Structures are given as C-alpha cells and as structure tokens.
C-alpha cells in the first residue's frame, strides 16, 4: 500500500483540491489503457532508492495487472489537467481466504464482517505529491468504501512504512496484526482495518464514526 506521507487533513472549512478535479471510475479494460500513465504516477508519488525506479515501476505494473483480473476490481482516478491520483481495490471473498497467513486467530468481528460480503480491500492509493495529497487520498478511499457499501475496509502496509501507518491511524484505521504472504511479496505485511459506522441520512457512508472505531475483539 502506498499513500501520502503527511497525515495532516485540511480543515473542513478550507477549499479542497477535490473540488477542482474530476473523479472517474475505470473498469479493467480502461485501466489497461491507462497503465503507463498510472505507472508514471507511481514513480512520481513514491520514494524509491536511486537506480531502483525501473524495478519499482515494473513491480507496480505487475501488481496492477494481477489486481485488475480479480473479481469486483474497482479503480477511481482523480484528474485535473492530467492524472492526479488513483485508488483501487477488490471486494474481500466471503470465505475469509483473504486472511490466509494472518498471524493470530481471526477476531470474530472481522470473520463475521468478511462473511457478510461487505468487506472491501483497498490495494493501493497514489496521489501526486504536488496536490492536496492527504485530503485526496482519504476521499478516494472513502468513496471506494462508500460505493461498495462496505462495513469493513482492509488494507496491507509494508512493515517499514511508518508514515503510511501514521497516516491511516490518523484517519481512524486500526492495526490488528500481520499477514505473511508467499514470495515474491514481502514476508510480512501489517493489516489495518476500518470498521464503518451505521449509515444514516446525515452520514450515508458511515464514515462519521471513524474516530470512535474500536479495535475488533
């Protein structure tokens, strides 16, 4: 998971960059047509050691191609004069296979929310660093979760990405453990979840309850 490095979320009274950009949904075929632009965005929005840019770009394209083939794949892009950001993910399978490799017994709350079919995994979030990166990233994620009527958002973060952990925590996400995946991916990834509150007329996405989200038991 890649996300902006600053956890500051502008005050709601200030104008947001989202007000001046266009949000667009892409299917897997449209995503394929935009893959090179998305790879450019990846390079521009992530910190990569000098000389490793090509390998990072190719790894991103591989993840994107794999993700786009999964059932329910969904991507949102933000566009101004050019591509500004994106977030994508897939619904989590009801059979809890997504949790394979979880390092502790799966909490009953997470098992029930997964089995309900209302869990959504956000795979990657990229925002051009010259934009209102934290604000745009958070709104893209919220839109994905809201559009899929998710009761649970899940994501995986590299253990060394302390900035992403800090940012997600500031947005109400909770770290619940680690997942160990098979190579060639990282040996262990931190698991973060966002349990959404009840949807009401005032808060149809349920996201007003984030600050009171409790660690699943």
Q: Can you give the pLDDT at residue 50?
A: 75
Q: What is the pLDDT of residues 131-167, one digit of tens each?
A: 677 788 999 999 999 999 999 999 999 888 888 899 8
- What per-residue string of b and e applies to 116-142 under the rule 16 or more CB within 10 Å gives b? eebbbbbbbbbbbeebbbbbbbbbbbb
- Is residue 12 situated within a structural domain? no
pTM of the model: 0.80
Residue 98 reports pLDDT greater than 90: yes
Give 40-64 pLDDT, tens digit per residue.
999 998 877 777 788 989 999 999 9
| Residue 178 falls inside a structural domain | yes
In the predicted model, is pLDDT for residue 37 greater than 50?
A: yes
Residue 5 lies in a domain: no
The C-alpha atoms of residue 166 and residue 75 are separated, in whole angstroms, by 24
Highest mean pLDDT among 9-18, 52-61, 175-184: 52-61
Question: Range with the lowest mean pLDDT among 51-65, 94-108, 144-158, 193-207?
Answer: 193-207
The predicted pLDDT at position 7 comes to 35
- CATH number at 184 reads 3.40.630.30
Q: Does residue 13 fall inside a structural domain? A: no
Domain extent, residue 40, equals: 18-212
**In a domain? residue 9:** no
6, part of any domain: no
């Amino acid at each position: 998971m890649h996300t902006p490095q600053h956890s500051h979320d502008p005050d709601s009274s200030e104008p947001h960059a989202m007000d001046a950009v266009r949000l667009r949904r892409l299917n897997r075929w449209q995503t394929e047509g935009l893959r090179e632009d998305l790879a450019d965005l990846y390079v521009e929005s992530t910190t990569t050691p000098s000389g490793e840019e090509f390998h990072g770009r190719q790894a991103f394209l591989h993840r994107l191609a794999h993700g786009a083939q999964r059932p329910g794949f969904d991507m949102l892009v933000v566009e101004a004069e050019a591509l500004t950001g994106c977030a994508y993910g897939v619904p989590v399978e009801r059979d809890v296979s997504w949790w394979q490799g979880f390092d502790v017994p799966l909490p009953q709350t997470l098992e029930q929310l997964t089995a309900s079919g209302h869990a959504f995994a956000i795979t990657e979030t990229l925002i051009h660093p010259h934009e209102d990166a934290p604000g745009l990233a958070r709104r893209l994620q919220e839109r994905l979760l809201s559009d899929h009527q998710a009761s649970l958002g899940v994501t995986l973060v590299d253990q060394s990405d302390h900035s992403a952990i800090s940012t997600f925590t500031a947005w109400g996400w909770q770290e619940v453990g680690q997942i160990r995946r098979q190579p060639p991916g990282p040996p262990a990834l931190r698991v973060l979840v966002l349990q959404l509150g009840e949807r009401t007329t005032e808060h149809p996405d349920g996201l007003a309850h984030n600050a009171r989200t409790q660690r699943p038991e």
